[in-house]
């Protein structure tokens, strides 16, 4: 199952300025590098509040049904 498909089934979609793929990219980049929100904000050229919001959105998507129960 494609994670993007499962995420969209759970109601997670593109926002006005940030695609679902970019949200996932921010989440994975933060998890892998361990960089601060400030550094990630510079890398992705978004406000820290925006990145924090989308990081939490993807985190909750992975920890809720159907993704968590399937994987």
* Mean pLDDT to the nearest integer, 3-17: 61
Q: Is residue 40 part of a domain?
A: yes
Q: Is residue 6 part of a domain?
A: no
Into how many domains does the chain fold? 1
Residue 12 confidence (pLDDT) above 50 = yes
Residue 17 DSSP SS3: coil
Q: Is residue 46 part of a domain?
A: yes
Residue 26, CB half-sphere, CA atoms under 13 Å: how many? 29
Write out the residue range of the structural domain in which residue 56 sits: 20-70
Query: In this predicted structure, what is the pLDDT of residue 15?
Result: 74
| More confident: 52 or 61 | 52
* Mean pLDDT to the nearest integer, 18-28: 91
pTM above 0.75, yes or no: no
Q: Is residue 8 part of a domain?
A: no
Nearest to 20, CA basis, from 62, 54, 64, 71: 54
């Amino acid at each position: 199952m494609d994670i993007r498909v499962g995420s969209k089934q759970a109601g997670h979609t593109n926002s006005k300025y940030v695609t679902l793929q970019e949200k996932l990219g921010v989440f994975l980049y933060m998890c892998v590098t361990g960089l601060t929100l400030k550094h990630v904000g510079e890398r992705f050229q978004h406000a820290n509040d925006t990145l924090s919001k989308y990081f939490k959105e993807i985190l909750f998507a992975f920890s809720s049904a159907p993704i968590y129960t399937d994987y």
